[in-house]
Amino acid sequence: MNAILFLIGIQEVGQQRKFSKEEKQDLMHVAVCTLLAKIGMYEKVGTDDEGWPHFELIKQLTPLSREEQEEVLKEQVVLYFDKNW
């Protein structure tokens, strides 16, 4: 799942270069926000000067177990690739 999130983050940022460890974590965060924006949890509020998207949390989901969280992300990954490819 981490590799898939990393690839989605790269796709969303639109940069192909060597990333630092911190940037790799940021890419995965961008991916999670992008995926959860589709179900109304986050809203993209803009892009910074370096081209990185920024999101705002707009709705909390009810607490989910780790397995349930991963299931939600898996569903959104499938929808993301279905829509973007």
- Using one digit for the tens of pLDDT, what is the confidence trace for 37-53? 999 999 999 999 999 99
DSSP alpha helix (H) spans, 1-85? 2-13, 21-37, 66-84
Domain residues of the chain, as ranges?
2-84
Q: In the prediction, which pLDDT does 16 show?
A: 86
pLDDT reading at 12 higher than 90: yes
Under the banding of pLDDT at 50, 70 and 90, the label for residue 60 is: confident
Q: What is the pTM of this model?
A: 0.90
Q: Do 46 and 54 meet the contact criterion of CB atoms below 8 Å apart?
A: yes
